[in-house]
A and B are shown apart, each in its own frame.
Chain A
Amino acid sequence: MRKSLLVLLVLAMMVSVFAYGCAPEPDPDPYDVDNGEPVDVDPDNQDLVIAIGAEPENLDPLKMMSAPAATIAEHMVENLIYLDVDGALQPALAESWEPAEDGMSWILQLREGVQFHDGTPFNAEAVKYNLDRFMGVDDPDNAAVFAFLLGEVSDVEVVDEYTVQINLNNIFAPIASHLSHSFIGMHSPASLEALDAGEFVEAPVGTGPFKYASWDRGNQIVMERNEDYWGDVPMLNSVTFKFVPEAGSRVIMLETGEAHAIMAVPPTDIDRLDAEADIDVVHQTSVRVIYMGFNLEREIFQDARVRQALNHAVDKDALINTIFSGVGEPSSAPIVPAIFGYTQTGPYEYDPDKARELLADAGYPDGFEMELFHPTGRYPQDATVTEAVQAMLQDVGIDASLTTYDWGTYLDTVIVPPDEAEHDIYMLGWGTVTLDADYGLYALFHSTQWPPRNNVSYYANDEVDALLDEARVTPDRDVREDLYRQAIEIIWDDAPWLFLYDEGQVNGERSNVKGLIHHPLENVSAWNAWIE
């Protein structure tokens, strides 16, 4: 018996080596879709099943941190502002949002006549209750995991029944984008008050087009149509999200019709599914870049020519085509095109001769040795990509020795102050989940954001700092966009990273399913969908 136990333990430990990941991300909309007009709709056959890889932790704004949680929650719980599939901010529960003249506060006009699923009216008090809870105003130890999204908010004021004023500590232009983050959904205050201490939302009571029906842990969440929805009432009777961790099993469910749609089709199955007449493969960009950051405190990486050389030494197209069956794009900026503030500056052309030349100019004609740290099981094919990069670098004389970690260990190993860093170069990814360049650039390149924050390369450039600071406090979107363009151009030439690729997402759906929204934030939204 002891032996069996041991076997079990060892097995459990072995399995722990395979790690998987899902990005935090997300958001709600009923406000944009153009997928033709419904035909052949059988009202009795409108129960949609979507298979996703991971189960949400719970659906409480305080504790939510995964894309599956966001995807599911947004069907039941709406935000004040919705970030649509094209990256534009759309009115949701707030009809308008305007900064005050000094930029130190924002006025939000709320939609009138909206009720939560439990009949509680939606109004300014409800907004204040939700935002205060999220920020941990009464209980700082229980602020939301993502409370930093509202880090610049000093307090929330109820002006009248349908007007809210959000006061800021500093001018903070991206606030509207941050309010659209789907972890900041509006729950019925009555439902939140009913929670016992230590308990978190599992059956959300929101204002959304679907109402919570049931959650069978490890199996599925079922939602039913909200007949009293304030917008267009959905055609679907119900939406079921099934939790299917094995990608191969999800593909099989799509093929057998057990699922109408699946998320994250493995690259190896794309061609086969594409060839099936009744299955559509849907490609969408994501908001995540994958990169290898240089440890800029290291002697070898002080010279920009060396950093540029490495960028020229790696064939990004080859990585994407061979490892990802063509899904993804070589990075053309430190953030992906879907993000507000993006400017195309790259990609760095694959040119090993130029790389060798740059290395020789910088005093390394014979290349050098370096320590490359990377995670395994966190990003799709992360270890394979690293090995391919290693081989390409070898080709220009750079000898990278690989150190592999599982995710939990990895973060702790690379996100450290310079004097503790063992790596010369490290692989990481970043999803700009607010779809605003501030979150992608400030967090990763501003000199105030060194570890334990996320500027893991120890990048510091006064010009970039100044541009990012200014963009934060400039309300005008066109001016901000220009500031980010300048910052991106400097960062690109400085090359604190070996820029790799923008991840793509590939979902699958049965061809009789219409109107599903596949969002860059790794959401699949079904409020406008129907089954033919």
Chain B
Amino acid sequence: MLGYIFKRLMLAIPVLLGVSILVFAIIRFIPGDPARAIAGVHATPQHIEQVRREMLLDEGLHVQYYVYMSNLLQGDLGRSTFSRRPVVTELRERFPNTVILSLAAMFVATVVGMSAGIISATKRYSIFDYSSMVGALVGVAAPVFWLGIMFQLLFAVRLGWLPSGQMGTFKHLILPSLTLGLATAALIARITRSSMLDVLRQDYITTARSKGLAERVVTYKHALKNALIPVVTVMGLQFGTLLGGAVLVETVFSWPGIGRLMVESILRRDYPVVQGAVLLLAVTFVMINLLVDVIYAFLDPRISYGSKEAE
């Protein structure tokens, strides 16, 4: 297992290298002079020239990338051209907030999604089944920024139960995580349902039932564990989507996370921060994928990595 993890980590290096080149190139392909954009309309030509020098814009792309990479390898992501603070500091402050939001959203998605999925599967074609599957469809289709504003209007303005945004107490976390988590909950519900239905048709379930086991035991002990394998895959992939969805949710709810930082930095042409943030998200994706693969092994004894028996 350790060997497998090591191999995966090694494989991540070219992926991350590719990501760094891609991001580096893409933001530089945005037409226009970033020095102009950063310096602003009131800037003097001298000041624009100074910004250009600072950002090495007069040098070729390869020189810029070389300098960027050699600094990166020393743990230096540069300074934000906007705040003038080290990018590492900016990311360190913001990233935990996005992780908190994403984890909370994942929690919402898991609890809501799995319960709805399991109940729908066991009470197939019931009113609950239909309504939760229609609900899931809506959940997948509704744009998160719209959902967010609706939640704000209902729970903050109308009912006055929850704060409308910003980070602070636990209460501040509820609406953003609900908004972010619902689409994933819908997806998880649908996958759980179909996967459960699949498993419940298997012979061993019939055997378990014929042994006279209680339906509850059959469902939760025998069926659920196997039904969860595709669900975990989806959850792993979805966690990445959650990090991406955080861009919108963080903006609607003024959540000080990395998604909002990234959007604002793109608008400000703050190259160092955009590069740092995307790279950090890429690393997170890679790690989560690895984690998901490792979790498989625990969930399903048939899956094992790198051991002799598997080969």
B32:A408 contact, CB within 8 angstroms:
yes
Known: A11-B247, A200-B84, A245-B251. A217 touches B94 (CB 8 A): yes
Interface residues of B in 111-142 (CB under 8 A from A): none
Known: A7-B244, A216-B256. A57 touches B42 (CB 8 A): no
Bitwise interface map of A from 403 to 443 toward B, beta carbon under 8 Å scored 1, else 0: 00111111111010000000000001010010000000000
B256:A412 contact, CB within 8 angstroms:
no
- When distances are taken between beta carbons in the complex, the residues of chain B under 8 Å from A246 are 251-252, 254
Contact partner, B267, options A19, A218, A409, Cβ 8 Å: A19
Contact partner, B247, options A5, A15, A57, A244, Cβ 8 Å: A15
- When distances are taken between beta carbons in the complex, the residues of chain B under 8 Å from A146 are 42
CB closest chain-A residue, reference B245: A11
Bitwise interface map of B from 218 to 252 toward A, beta carbon under 8 Å scored 1, else 0: 00000000000000000001001101100100011
B48:A452 contact, CB within 8 angstroms:
yes
A217:B264 contact, CB within 8 angstroms:
no
Bitwise interface map of A from 225 to 255 toward B, beta carbon under 8 Å scored 1, else 0: 0000000000000000011111011001101
Q: Is B205 an interface residue (CB 8 A)?
A: no
Complex: A63 Cα to B157 Cα, angstroms = 38
Known: A145-B43, A244-B254. A252 touches B164 (CB 8 A): yes
18 residue pairs bridging A and B, Cβ less than 8 Å apart:
A1-B237, A5-B281, A9-B23, A15-B247, A15-B267, A65-B42, A147-B47, A199-B84, A200-B84, A218-B256, A218-B257, A219-B167, A252-B153, A412-B32, A413-B32, A415-B36, A428-B41, A433-B42
Q: Is B269 an interface residue (CB 8 A)?
A: yes
Q: Is B204 an interface residue (CB 8 A)?
A: no
Contact partner, B152, options A7, A65, A252, A430, Cβ 8 Å: A252
Closest Cβ of chain A to B8, distance in Å, is: 12
CB closest chain-A residue, reference B48: A452
Complex: A145 Cα to B90 Cα, angstroms = 22
- When distances are taken between beta carbons in the complex, the residues of chain A under 8 Å from B255 are 218
CB closest chain-B residue, reference A24: B42
Q: Is A36 an interface residue (CB 8 A)?
A: no
Complex: A409 Cα to B149 Cα, angstroms = 32
B254:A245 contact, CB within 8 angstroms:
yes
Bitwise interface map of A from 1 to 30 toward B, beta carbon under 8 Å scored 1, else 0: 110110111011101101110001000000
Q: Is B289 an interface residue (CB 8 A)?
A: yes
Closest Cβ of chain B to A4, distance in Å, is: 4
Complex: A246 Cα to B145 Cα, angstroms = 11
- When distances are taken between beta carbons in the complex, the residues of chain B under 8 Å from A406 are 32
A-binding residues in B (CB < 8 A): 15, 19, 22-23, 26, 30-34, 36-37, 39-45, 47-48, 50, 79, 82-85, 90, 93-94, 97, 149, 152-153, 156-157, 160, 163-167, 237, 240-241, 243-244, 247, 251-257, 260-264, 266-267, 269, 274, 278, 281-282, 285-286, 289
Complex: A404 Cα to B31 Cα, angstroms = 13
- When distances are taken between beta carbons in the complex, the residues of chain A under 8 Å from B240 are 1, 4-5, 8
Closest Cβ of chain B to A285, distance in Å, is: 20
Bitwise interface map of A from 35 to 65 toward B, beta carbon under 8 Å scored 1, else 0: 0000000000000000000010110100101
Complex: A1 Cα to B293 Cα, angstroms = 13
Contact partner, B254, options A242, A407, A453, Cβ 8 Å: A242
A253:B82 contact, CB within 8 angstroms:
no
Contact partner, A219, options B33, B84, B166, Cβ 8 Å: B166
Complex: A415 Cα to B247 Cα, angstroms = 33
B281:A242 contact, CB within 8 angstroms:
no
Q: Is A198 an interface residue (CB 8 A)?
A: yes
Complex: A20 Cα to B264 Cα, angstroms = 9
Closest Cβ of chain B to A60, distance in Å, is: 8
Complex: A218 Cα to B96 Cα, angstroms = 13
Complex: A220 Cα to B172 Cα, angstroms = 15
Closest Cβ of chain B to A440, distance in Å, is: 12
B256:A217 contact, CB within 8 angstroms:
yes
- When distances are taken between beta carbons in the complex, the residues of chain A under 8 Å from B264 are 55, 245
Q: Is A258 an interface residue (CB 8 A)?
A: yes
CB closest chain-A residue, reference B84: A200
Q: Is A368 an interface residue (CB 8 A)?
A: no
- When distances are taken between beta carbons in the complex, the residues of chain A under 8 Å from B244 are 4, 7-8, 11
Closest Cβ of chain B to A167, distance in Å, is: 21
Complex: A148 Cα to B42 Cα, angstroms = 10
Known: A15-B266, A148-B44. A249 touches B247 (CB 8 A): no
CB closest chain-B residue, reference A151: B44
CB closest chain-A residue, reference B22: A9
Find the residue from B83, B163, B286 having the highest chain A CB count within 10 A.
B83
- When distances are taken between beta carbons in the complex, the residues of chain A under 8 Å from B30 are 16, 408-409
**Which 4 A-B residue pairs are closest in the complex by CB-CB distance?**
A218-B256, A409-B32, A408-B37, A412-B33
B267:A20 contact, CB within 8 angstroms:
yes
Complex: A1 Cα to B290 Cα, angstroms = 11
- When distances are taken between beta carbons in the complex, the residues of chain A under 8 Å from B241 are 4, 7
Contact partner, A249, options B47, B48, B252, B267, Cβ 8 Å: B252
Contact partner, B164, options A148, A198, A245, A256, Cβ 8 Å: A256
- When distances are taken between beta carbons in the complex, the residues of chain A under 8 Å from B50 are 141
Find the residue from B32, B261, B285 having the highest chain A CB count within 10 A.
B32
- When distances are taken between beta carbons in the complex, the residues of chain B under 8 Å from A216 are 256
- When distances are taken between beta carbons in the complex, the residues of chain B under 8 Å from A5 are 19, 240, 281-282, 285
Complex: A243 Cα to B256 Cα, angstroms = 9
Q: Is A454 an interface residue (CB 8 A)?
A: yes
B157:A252 contact, CB within 8 angstroms:
yes
Closest Cβ of chain B to A47, distance in Å, is: 14
B90:A63 contact, CB within 8 angstroms:
no
Closest Cβ of chain A to B97, distance in Å, is: 7
Complex: A428 Cα to B40 Cα, angstroms = 13
- When distances are taken between beta carbons in the complex, the residues of chain A under 8 Å from B34 are 408
B39:A57 contact, CB within 8 angstroms:
no
Known: A9-B278, A57-B84. A1 touches B285 (CB 8 A): yes
B22:A4 contact, CB within 8 angstroms:
no
- When distances are taken between beta carbons in the complex, the residues of chain A under 8 Å from B44 are 148, 453
A256:B166 contact, CB within 8 angstroms:
no
Bitwise interface map of A from 485 to 527 toward B, beta carbon under 8 Å scored 1, else 0: 0000000000000000000000000000000000000000000
Known: A248-B149, A256-B160. A454 touches B165 (CB 8 A): no
Complex: A268 Cα to B147 Cα, angstroms = 20
Contact partner, A256, options B48, B157, B237, B260, Cβ 8 Å: B157
A12:B84 contact, CB within 8 angstroms:
no
Closest Cβ of chain B to A376, distance in Å, is: 12
Contact partner, A412, options B36, B149, B278, Cβ 8 Å: B36
A65:B40 contact, CB within 8 angstroms:
yes
Find the residue from A218, A430, A452 having the highest chain B CB count within 10 A.
A218
A256:B156 contact, CB within 8 angstroms:
yes
Closest Cβ of chain B to A23, distance in Å, is: 9
Closest Cβ of chain B to A219, distance in Å, is: 4
B256:A405 contact, CB within 8 angstroms:
no
Known: A242-B254, A249-B165. A411 touches B37 (CB 8 A): yes
B278:A244 contact, CB within 8 angstroms:
no
CB closest chain-B residue, reference A20: B267
Complex: A7 Cα to B93 Cα, angstroms = 25
Contacts A409-B37, A452-B48 known; 15 new A-B pairs at CB < 8 A: A5-B240, A8-B244, A12-B274, A12-B278, A13-B266, A16-B266, A24-B42, A242-B166, A243-B254, A245-B251, A252-B157, A258-B163, A408-B33, A408-B34, A453-B45
Closest Cβ of chain B to A478, distance in Å, is: 28
